[in-house]
Structure 1
């Protein structure tokens, strides 16, 4: 039995992760991500899938971010009807994120149609809400650390990866006629000292390893994010203002809420209203109550007065009229709202109304990509376009480092050191060219590993005649 892999995404870029494993009579996909970012990457989403979708047997997901699951509605639309295996929390997060993605795809197509932005006469969405919903019956949730079979010769086990709720390192055992081989996909690895999630599980052995390299060329800031966040909030409150925190709905928002609760408990900031104004973030936060075994907060959630997502100061705003009422708020409060780079979502109307006032503060809690409003704000632009209007930026803008959900270079190496022997083949994936190359150099210099940085659409023979 020969085993091959084809790199359909997450190769040479940090998006669109898809890895097609072929054992001859059975083909399955590890991750099924949407390409995001540059136009030339996004256009790949429209390419025809390289094999008939109805002939592929299964999909394995590592976690629920769109660059790992966002192509699923498109795959199902093309005829895929097999099981989609994932952890239990990933299944629930996938429903939330795919519905939102379908809605945004429809809205963007409609906007392009109205404004004539598209080169097509009748622009269509990549997929819509109904396409997203068609994925849900195929989801097959599985618990962590309990092996399950996807084929008589293939056994899969999920292990905690950190990163976001439900994220998993994926170990795949393939039984050949003569020997057994182990494939390990890191997925996206989290931080070793994340206060919410478990650190990435150490795996002792892999014949073939796929390791992500998102931050393969950088080291996390040594700054204390809780300290920095508290300072920004106190400064703003001293001016009599309110704090706006643009934040990603899944992962980052929950970490921010945890730190805000800790700051209040320690008396580092006053007990003032916190408004979580993002329906998606609220849904994602509620999942922490459903999946106690997937995070480190279970003891806190069960003890009255120590629940960081359920206390008197925290208010969940789902309705648009509640959100709009915050535009008239004066005084001390904290508004946490998506999106994290201020590219869309409810946070825009909060910025529109509160940026012009010197008393207010805007706290960014993550990397701001080039070309986003968030990037322009942290770089100090004095006017920002929102809803077609030039909005003066008089509020003070802060940026807090140290809240990333991704392992940095040192943590990627620490995880790799957990292997008792070097894999026979290591693929460095899910990273830009520089970060992948930097991690490859580190793995060779410090661990003696030879690694491969695959190209998009490259095929590699993993085993012959096992």
Structure 2
């Protein structure tokens, strides 16, 4: 009997972990960290319902932290199988996991030094060494070529768009074919390819981040230009919390387009994220996985000042001249952007500009909902800056695009499982699938077991 259990990403947009079990063999699709609300983050410290040593393989759809960030802990706790990923995903995961381990260590050190942690001493979930250990278990798989993995399963990756290396995963196992969307990207995105259709599957596991809404159809380059020009005109700085992989590169693309059109010519742009800088350089290493030419990559690189060292980052925060600062993390949950928010959020001349989904419980969500104070490093920071959101810059498919991808199946699946979405978004997508496609769709609960 083949079963499916969501150990994360069920009823929430974070912590994706979906377990397939056939007999006594187990395959985990994605292995992400929970982020956002405290009760979710605390789950990262809890043991998995199944022993990591009993999992035969992990399939990683892409490298974002909410899909990959639990891998170092999984390995530390006993996993010894292979982690199957595309080549670009493996390279991006190296950046993200090492950075995550580093931030975990730094946050624990900072909490201990400042004494604002409830734990004495504060400990990291994992560190850099454990992240490096997890990378030793990666096994590369190509796009569009089936590969045999543990337990006799067959895996096929297809382009999902979204970020560099991202894939949908089709798993043939136990006489069943299950398609996992991972995170789907946008159709017509200027940087990433369109999500590829999957011909057929008996079961589909689909994300629902934006399952209840459509993105603004406004041209993203124009929308970004309007916000930056408005802020610069009043002598302010635009701070853009951005995911280091995906959003940072798309923002550079749109800023390059604006500068090429003669706009923002004198506006300095800073990319203040070592990981984002490294991720931008990976575009050259994986040309087949995106739409940009070598010339476009070089032109994008040239518009920004790249800041790797801490002193350079501090100088950006100290400078009060108008500028654009792109810095991680994208939901303002950690990283250098927190220092920029402390410096720039209190001034009404400035703008805090979000460009991607903000999960419940994050500082990003709080600011978009009108919070006039945010807590950073144990200190309450007033938010007097303009707060804006350019949803059309999101790397996630909206509800219409999710339906477009689902419509690519040649025959109806027996059931669609809707995951990786907050309750309202997942339920809205379930209703729409039933109404428009006539398919049986279910929103799984955490740890609910389904026979396939």
How far does the alpha carbon of each residue in 1:266-287 deviate from its partner, in whole angstroms, 9 at most, with x for none? Answer: 2233254321111111111111
Match of 1:444 in 2: 434
Q: Where do residues 331-350 of structure 1 align in structure 2 (5 Å cutoff)?
A: 331-350=321-340
Bigger shift: residues 376-385 or 87-96 = 376-385
How far does the alpha carbon of each residue in 1:415-446 deviate from its partner, in whole angstroms, 9 at most, with x for none? Answer: 11111110012211112222221111111111
- Out of 411, 429, 432, the position equivalent to 2:419 is 429
Q: Where do residues 78-97 of structure 1 align in structure 2 (5 Å cutoff)?
A: 78-97=77-96
Q: Where do residues 155-304 of structure 1 align in structure 2 (5 Å cutoff)?
A: 155-174=154-173, 180-297=175-292, 299=293, 301=294, 303=295
> CA offset at residue 406 of structure 1?
1.0
SS at match of 1:190: coil
> CA offset at residue 395 of structure 1?
4.7
Whether the aligned pair in 1 keeps the contact of 2:37 and 2:361 (CA below 8 Å) is: no
Query: Compared with structure 1, are the counterparts of its residues 448 and 236 closer, same or farther at alpha carbon in structure 2 (3 Å cutoff)?
Result: same
Kindly tell me the number of residue pairs found equivalent between the two proteins. 452
Query: Compared with structure 1, are the counterparts of its residues 333 and 442 closer, same or farther at alpha carbon in structure 2 (3 Å cutoff)?
Result: same
In structure 2, C-alpha distance between the alignment counterparts of 1:450 and 1:381, rounded to whole Å: 39
In structure 2, C-alpha distance between the alignment counterparts of 1:372 and 1:426, rounded to whole Å: 29
In structure 1, C-alpha distance between the alignment counterparts of 2:401 and 2:95, rounded to whole Å: 29
How far does the alpha carbon of each residue in 1:283-334 deviate from its partner, in whole angstroms, 9 at most, with x for none? Answer: 111111111111111x2x2x3x7634322x3221111122222244354432
In structure 2, C-alpha distance between the alignment counterparts of 1:225 and 1:25, rounded to whole Å: 49
Match of 2:99 in 1: 100
Match of 1:460 in 2: 450
How far does the alpha carbon of each residue in 1:58-102 deviate from its partner, in whole angstroms, 9 at most, with x for none? Answer: 111111111111111111111111111001111111111111222
> CA offset at residue 379 of structure 1?
5.5
Whether the aligned pair in 2 keeps the contact of 1:285 and 1:309 (CA below 8 Å) is: no
Q: TM-score, normalised by structure 1?
A: 0.89
Whether the aligned pair in 2 keeps the contact of 1:223 and 1:401 (CA below 8 Å) is: no
Whether the aligned pair in 1 keeps the contact of 2:269 and 2:305 (CA below 8 Å) is: yes
Match of 1:9 in 2: 8
Query: Compared with structure 1, are the counterparts of its residues 269 and 417 closer, same or farther at alpha carbon in structure 2 (3 Å cutoff)?
Result: same
Match of 2:69 in 1: 70
How far does the alpha carbon of each residue in 1:27-84 deviate from its partner, in whole angstroms, 9 at most, with x for none? Answer: 2111111122222222222232333322321111111111111111111111111111
Q: Which has the larger radius of gyration?
A: 1
Query: Compared with structure 1, are the counterparts of its residues 126 and 418 closer, same or farther at alpha carbon in structure 2 (3 Å cutoff)?
Result: same
Query: Compared with structure 1, are the counterparts of its residues 446 and 356 closer, same or farther at alpha carbon in structure 2 (3 Å cutoff)?
Result: closer
SS at match of 1:134: helix
Structure 1 gaps of 5+ residues are none
In structure 2, C-alpha distance between the alignment counterparts of 1:392 and 1:11, rounded to whole Å: 34
In structure 1, C-alpha distance between the alignment counterparts of 2:297 and 2:117, rounded to whole Å: 51
How far does the alpha carbon of each residue in 1:323-381 deviate from its partner, in whole angstroms, 9 at most, with x for none? Answer: 22224435443222223344433233334444555554443323445555445555566
Q: TM-score, normalised by structure 2?
A: 0.91
> CA offset at residue 386 of structure 1?
5.4
Bigger shift: residues 190-199 or 98-107 = 98-107
Whether the aligned pair in 1 keeps the contact of 2:56 and 2:151 (CA below 8 Å) is: no
In structure 2, C-alpha distance between the alignment counterparts of 1:25 and 1:392, rounded to whole Å: 54
Match of 2:313 in 1: 323
Matched, 1:310 2:301: yes
Query: Compared with structure 1, are the counterparts of its residues 137 and 247 closer, same or farther at alpha carbon in structure 2 (3 Å cutoff)?
Result: same
Alpha-carbon RMSD across the aligned residues, in angstroms, is 2.5
Whether the aligned pair in 1 keeps the contact of 2:167 and 2:182 (CA below 8 Å) is: yes
Match of 1:146 in 2: 145
